[in-house]
Chains A and B, each alone.
Chain A
Amino acid sequence: MSVLEVHNVSIRYMTGDFKNIGLKEYTLRKLTGKYHVDEFWADKDITFSLEKGDMLGIIGSNGAGKSTLLKAVSGIMEPTKGKVTRQGTVAALLNLGSGFDGEMTVKENVYLRGAMLGYTRKFMDETYDKIIAFAELEEFQDRMFRQLSSGMRARLAFSIASLVQPDILILDEVLSVGDGAFRKKSEAKMREILNSGATTILVSHGLGQIRELCNKVLWLEKGQQIAFGNTGIICDLYQRFLDKDITLDQARETLTRLNAQYDYLIVGAGLYGCTFAREMTDKGKKCLVIDKRPHLGGNVYSEQVAGVTVHKYGPHIFHTDNGDIWEYVNRFTSFRPYTHRVAAVSGEKEYSMPFNMKTFEQLWGVKTPEEAKAIIEAQRPKLDHEPDDLEEQALSVVGREIYETLIKGYTEKQWGRSCKSLPADIIKRIPLRFTDDDRYFEDKYQGIPERGYNGLIEKLLEGIPAVTSLSYEKLMNAYPDVAKKTVYTGPIDSFFGYRLGQMEYRSMRFETGILDEEDFQGRAVVNYTDEDTPYTRIIEHKHLSGQESPKTVVTREYPQDWAPGREAYYPVNDERNQNLYGRYLELAKERPDVIFGGRLGEYKYYDMDDAIAAALARAAQEP
């Protein structure tokens, strides 16, 4: 049985010629037909119910109908339509500053107020001293009320009101009053009341306060009920609405989406998630895609800066040897042919990448493959065992000079530790090309989507409901049964609340700037391989998109350790993490309704084509 039930409550207000016009004006206007009254609905069809101990926060812009609703709930005002059912006593602490009598003493006012709030005389006799002490007005008891300062009045009003012990408590912005010490005291007292188990409704403009205190939230705008339910998601939407990030209709739309039932919930709107959603939708399943970021696309998302498409999470060049995948992505976007070429800068000198005849010429001035091979061979240490670490591995393949100039600094910056402590298999294969081929990727198909990756994602998700800025945890709090199955593309350890410990990731910091020149480095990516440069590379975005602009946008990449709150980019697949991942996989067996996928879900580095291939394969296994 609900403690409070508000059913289809509407409250109509009148505005216009009816208030304070006097009898003469009233008669005149009535006679001349100018009398005019507008009605407006301060609240329209509000419906919600609260259980014992529920704490409801009412949010909404000014004039949303919040205070009017409180009046109806408390019984001060009769709803024009609809019904309010209450179980038990109600105390509404509204307009606490009003209703005092300036010409009476403080003591008399305390008793009168106590009577208004429904206390008994006996109760007032017993608690009067406490009230005065709490309000710190001992010396003012017999003064006229009008002599009190506004702060004192507020303190007194609060002190009397805070003694209520109702079944339903209604508060309108009275959570704390006064300044400094009293504020603290009143806040503590308020919390005490709120924790007393009363069903509480409060209106507050402090969204933080509502998030902290309330388990339910009612959102009103212009008298309309936008949402009623779990605090987290609705408060987020409201905040975004306040920030003009979304419109009211979008907020409504989002809530409608979340209120539906789905076959699959896809957590993370990256390539893996979007591909999976596309496949299952095409199979006739209902999918909902959510992402905690404010946009779709995961790491392939790009944004427009100074007329240039900027890959927000590092440069993404689509390349694959797999004809099926190439065909698949071409269903959703056409590609701009692009061949990726990268230069490396070490010290003052620029080198061609990956290591090819141009690189060798830049290093040693050699012209023929034989000369280059001879130099490298001479620099390679002869190992009598398998390489123990990355340094040994690299040295044994490319020799000392290439390693020290072009590999060591870059790799150490990238992984945040010395090459000696990195496992050898991170760079199993270091291609040495004894030709002039300086294409970064040798794949058959390469390119950048014509309308950017956003266009690709948009097309992949066509007709599929998606909600951004929504974390999995928040969604589960409010809608635990939103879907039958879940595809989780976030970090697997976070899904299990890190209960076996955190796995390690590498993260990245991007520093993007607009430069007042047409061309900064002549190519999309330049690696900085020496240890003294703090960033690993500089990306000049216009070379990826082929856009023309009088300005250019460049991004410096700074690898960094991952910590909660940062984006996880790369798994750190060393032994410890791999073991930990294995144990999480064991845990995952207990959740057959959850599919872990993608770079973070599978703790595995995926190129874009691999991610798509993996999603297609996984989706194929689903009925």
Chain B
Amino acid sequence: MFKKLMRYQFLFEELVKRDFKQKYKRTVLGMGWSLLSPLLMLLVMRVMLVGFFGRNTPHYTTFLFSGTLVFSFFSDATKSGMSSLRGNAGIFKMVTVPKYLFLLSKNVQTLINFLLTLVIYFLFAAFDGITFTWRVVCLVYPIFCLVLFNIGIGMVLSALFIFFRDTQYLYNVFVRLLTYLSAVFYNINGYSPLGQKLFLLNPIYLFIRYFRKIVIEATVPTIWFHLLMAADVVIALGMGCFMYKKYNTKFLYYV
């Protein structure tokens, strides 16, 4: 696979470039948009919700930003990943290329976006009175996991999207529901212990929680927490690879 990637390096670079250009074509702010939009979202939520949820939550701005940061990365990466196969049908109908290149290229683009937002996140956190410890380095772990998780889910979605066009609509609805289920803007302390446990079943919540733990509470989650995340990643990637492996030769018939 690594050898293959080397062989397709030039194509991969060009695809990433293209995906960037496609995303920001004919926009005044260009990449600024991808920073501006979560910031505006953050601003609105901060203003509207602080009086509501912020009373019992210290560093509510950082708390909220942690949620939107992770969640929009997940949602951007999977949504753009979903269309990566269908959108590149013209290419894989024409030349022999590993089909995951298209998905990876989309993920590179969303990852860069995420990293930029991450910088702003740190600025905001500092502004919010957070003191950073060495533990911030630990964030590499959830980011790494999230990238893999996104790729896994993106594979599943892009394959489904080839077979069913409604995947797009269903997934949009799902993502909206997930926003509310992932404790992006609220604290789960109010729920019963069982209810709080149930949140752990949501991988996105795990990622958000990790960020909050490190940044706001300056504590490293337990080893079990790490393993749970890793398991989620393995499951997502496993499903994705399974779909690609199984349907790799079938996609052609549907586009």
Q: Could you tell me which A residues sit within 8 Å of B by CB distance? A: 13-14, 18-20, 22-24, 26, 71, 74-78, 90, 92, 94-96, 98-101, 103-104, 108, 111-112, 114-121, 124
Contacts and interface: CB of A to CB of B under 8 A. Distances in A.
Given A23-B167, A76-B96, A104-B21, A112 B15 contact: yes
Contact of A13 (B166, B248, B253): B253
Residues of B contacting A: mostly: helix
A22 B15 CA distance: 29
A244 to B, nearest CB: 33
Nearest to B255: A19
B95 interface: yes
Contacts of A26: 164
Contacts of A119: 10
Contacts of A71: 252
Interface stretch (B48-56, B85-93, B226-234): B85-93
Nearest to B26: A103
A117 B95 contact: yes
A116 B95 contact: yes
Interface string B175-219: 000000000000000000000000000000000000000000000
Nearest to B95: A116
B249 A111 contact: no
Contact of B253 (A14, A90, A115): A14
A119 B91 CA distance: 15
A77 B166 CA distance: 26
25 contacts: A22-B165, A22-B166, A23-B170, A75-B96, A76-B93, A76-B94, A76-B96, A92-B94, A95-B93, A95-B94, A98-B90, A98-B93, A99-B93, A101-B22, A103-B25, A104-B18, A104-B21, A108-B18, A114-B10, A115-B11, A115-B14, A116-B95, A117-B95, A118-B95, A121-B13
Q: Which 8 A-B pairs have the closest CB atoms?
A: A115-B11, A78-B249, A99-B90, A98-B90, A115-B14, A75-B96, A23-B166, A99-B91
A94 B91 CA distance: 10
A94 B92 CA distance: 11
Nearest to A99: B90
Most B Cβ at <10 Å: residue of A74, A95, A116, A118:
A116
Interface in B9-59: 10-11, 13-15, 17-18, 21-22, 25-26
Contacts of A98: 90, 93-94
B174 interface: no
Given A108-B18, A116-B97, 4 more contacts: A13-B253, A77-B249, A78-B249, A114-B10
Contact of A111 (B14, B25, B167, B248): B14
B254 A19 contact: yes
A569 B170 CA distance: 82
Nearest to B249: A78
Nearest to A100: B90
A104 B18 CA distance: 8
Contacts of A19: 253-254
A76 B92 contact: yes
B166 A112 contact: no
A373 B184 CA distance: 133
B10 A121 contact: yes
B: contact size bracket = 20 to 34
Interface string B53-89: 0000000000000000000000000000000000000
Contacts of A104: 18, 21-22
B17 to A, nearest CB: 7
B104 to A, nearest CB: 14
B14 A112 contact: yes
A389 to B, nearest CB: 76
Contacts of A18: 254
Nearest to B166: A23
Contacts of B167: 23
Nearest to A12: B253
A614 B166 CA distance: 82
A114 B10 CA distance: 9
A95 B26 CA distance: 28
Contact of B96 (A74, A100, A101): A74
A305 B25 CA distance: 73
B95 A92 contact: yes
A22 B164 contact: yes
A353 B113 CA distance: 107
Contacts of B11: 112, 115-116, 118
A147 to B, nearest CB: 14
Contacts of B249: 77-78
Contact of A116 (B22, B91, B166): B91
Nearest to A75: B96
B149 to A, nearest CB: 24
A20 B165 contact: yes
A112 B11 CA distance: 7
Interface string B103-147: 000000000000000000000000000000000000000000000
B94 A94 contact: yes
Nearest to A19: B254
Contacts of A75: 96
A192 to B, nearest CB: 22
Contacts of A76: 92-96, 252
A512 to B, nearest CB: 56
Contacts of B13: 115, 121
A171 B46 CA distance: 60
A270 B76 CA distance: 80
A22 B94 CA distance: 26
A77 B252 contact: yes
